[in-house]
C-alpha cells in the first residue's frame, strides 16, 4: 500500500536539507495517535526476520514543483508531494486516519498545509523493471577487521548490490515467514552505468547524530516479481523508516 500526501507552500519557505528526522517523527506521531500499541512496537522493537529487526515502512523526499537550491537548503513554493509505503496496511491505515485530521505537516520551524491524501495504484510487477529513487539508497556494511567500523558502500562496488539483495531477501522472510526458495533470484544494476556520475549521485545526509552516505540514481531490478514488489513496497537498502531507499516505477524509453 502506498499513499501520496499533497502539500502546499503558499509563500517561499527555506527547507533545510537534513529534514528526514522531522518526517520520521511525524510518521511515528500520526501512527501513535490512532494506535499506540502498533506505534510502540514499531518504534521499540520492529518486526523480526532472521533474528534482526526490520521496520517495514519507507518514505520519500519532499517534492515541490517550484524549488531553488541554496547553500542553506531548498527554497520551496507551491504544490508538494510526499509518499509513504508499506506492505502492512496495519501500519499505514492508522497513519492515514490521523494525518487526515491534521491541517499541516510541521518540519522544525516551517509548516506545510495538507491538501489531499491519495492511495496510489500499484504498477504491474514483471521480471524486469526500471525505477527512479524517490529517496536515496543506503548500503552499509560493518568491517569487523577494523573495530566494527561502518562503511557505506557505493554503486560502483559489487558489494552495494549484494547488500541490497540480502536486505530484500530478509524482508521476504519477514513477509512470508520462510526463506526465499524460488529460482529467479533478484538482481540490481544501475540503469545507465555509462552515465553514472558519482558526484551527482552521492548525498551526505545528517540524521540526528549520524552522517549517512547514500546514493540516488536510476536502478534496474530483475528477478522474481514477488521480490521486486517488496522492493517497491518496503524500499531497498537500509534505514527505510528514516526515509531512504524508496522507489518509483518508470518506463525506460
- SS3 labels along 101-113: CCCEEEECCEEEE
Cα 210 from chain centroid? 17
For residues 67 and 74, the answer to whether their CB atoms sit within 8 Å is yes
Residues 85, 136 within the same domain: no
Q: Supply the pLDDT for residue 214.
A: 97
| pLDDT in the model for residue 244 | 98
> What's the number of domains the chain is made of?
2
Neighbour count for residue 89 (Cβ, 10 Å): 10
Q: What CATH number did the domain enclosing 170 receive?
A: 3.30.70.1900
Is the pLDDT confidence value at 46 over 70?
no
Does residue 104 share a domain with residue 161?
A: no
Q: Are residues 132 and 221 in the same domain?
A: yes
Residues 155 and 173 placed together within one structural domain of the fold: yes
DSSP string, 149-177: EEEE--TTSHHHHHHHHHHHHHHHHHHHS
Provide the β-strand partners of residue 105.
Answer: 112
Residue with cell 518504534: 43
Please, what is the Cα angle at 80 between 77 and 82, to 5 degrees?
145
Structure confidence by residue, pLDDT tens digits, 150-199: 999 999 999 999 999 999 999 999 888 889 998 899 999 999 999 999 99
Same domain, yes or no: 18 and 107: yes
Which of the listed residues 85, 119, 153 is the one where a domain comes to its end?
119
CATH number at 62 reads 3.30.70.1890
Residue ending a domain, among 119, 139, 164, is: 119
pLDDT > 90: what percent of the chain? 74
End-to-end CA distance of the chain: give it in Å, rounded. Answer: 27
Contact (Cβ atoms closer than 8 angstroms) between residue 242 and residue 24: yes
Q: Are residue 164 and residue 79 in the same domain, yes or no?
A: no
Domain region containing 56: 2-119
Looking at residue 163, its pLDDT comes to 97
- CA 100, CA 228: separation in Å to the nearest integer? 30
38 and 134 in a single domain? The answer is no
Residue 145 burial (CB count, 10 A): 7
SS3 28: helix
The yes-or-no verdict on residue 102 having pLDDT over 70 is yes
**What is the helix, strand, coil percentage profile of the chain, to 5?**
30, 35, 30
Are 58 and 83 spatial neighbours (Cβ–Cβ below 8 Å)?
Answer: no
Question: What pLDDT is recorded for position 177?
Answer: 86
Per-residue pLDDT tens digits for 200-240: 999 999 998 899 999 999 999 999 999 999 999 999 999 99
pLDDT for the residue numbered 103: 87
Query: Of 130, 188, 192, 131, which is closest to residue 159 (Cα–Cα)?
Result: 188
Exposure letters 50-88 (e unless 16+ CB within 10 A, then b):
eeeebbbbbbbbbebeebeeeeebbbbbeebbbbbbbbb
Question: What is the DSSP track for 34-53?
Answer: H-HHHHHHHHHT-EEETTEE
Whether residue 253 has pLDDT greater than 80: no
Does residue 159 share a domain with residue 100?
A: no
Are 194 and 217 a contacting pair, CB within 8 Å?
Answer: no
Q: What is the pLDDT of residue 88?
A: 87
Domain boundary among 91, 119, 147: 119
Q: How many CB atoms lie within 10 A of CB 14?
A: 14
One domain, residues 96 and 186? no
Q: Tell me, yes or no, whether 133 and 40 share the same domain.
A: no
pLDDT at 22 over 80: yes
What is the rounded average pLDDT for all residues in the chain? Answer: 92
Q: What is the reported pLDDT for 186?
A: 97
Amino acid at each position: 500500500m502506498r499513499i501520496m500526501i499533497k502539500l502546499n507552500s503558499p509563500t517561499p519557505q527555506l527547507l533545510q536539507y537534513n529534514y528526514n528526522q522531522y518526517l520520521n517523527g511525524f510518521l511515528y506521531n500520526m501512527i501513535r495517535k490512532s494506535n499506540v500499541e502498533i506505534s510502540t512496537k514499531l518504534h521499540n522493537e520492529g518486526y523480526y526476520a532472521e533474528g534482526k529487526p526490520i521496520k517495514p515502512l519507507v518514505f520519500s523526499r519532499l517534492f515541490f514543483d517550484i524549488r531553488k537550491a541554496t547553500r542553506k537548503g531548498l527554497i520551496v513554493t507551491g504544490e508538494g508531494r510526499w509518499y509513504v509505503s508499506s506492505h502492512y496496511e496495519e501500519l499505514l491505515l492508522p497513519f492515514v486516519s490521523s494525518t487526515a485530521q491534521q491541517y499541516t505537516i510541521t518540519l522544525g520551524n516551517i509548516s506545510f498545509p495538507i491538501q489531499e491524501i491519495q492511495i496510489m495504484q500499484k504498477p504491474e510487477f514483471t521480471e524486469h523493471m526500471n525505477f527512479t529513487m524517490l529517496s536515496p539508497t543506503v548500503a552499509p556494511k560493518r568491517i569487523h577487521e577494523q573495530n566494527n567500523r561502518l562503511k557505506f558502500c557505493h554503486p560502483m562496488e559489487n558489494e552495494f548490490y549484494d547488500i541490497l539483495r540480502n536486505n530484500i531477501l530478509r524482508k521476504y522472510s519477514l513477509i512470508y515467514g520462510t526463506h526465499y526458495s524460488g529460482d529467479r533470484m533478484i538482481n540490481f544494476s544501475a540503469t545507465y552505468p555509462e552515465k553514472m556520475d558519482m558526484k551527482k549521485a552521492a548525498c551526505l545526509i545528517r540524521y540526528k547524530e549520524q552522517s549517512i552516505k547514500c546514493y540516488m540514481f536510476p536502478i534496474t531490478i530483475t528477478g522474481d516479481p514477488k521480490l521486486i514488489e517488496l522492493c517497491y513496497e518496503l524500499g531497498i537498502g537500509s534505514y527505510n523508516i528514516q526515509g531512504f531507499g524508496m522507489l518509483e516505477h518508470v518506463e525506460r524509453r
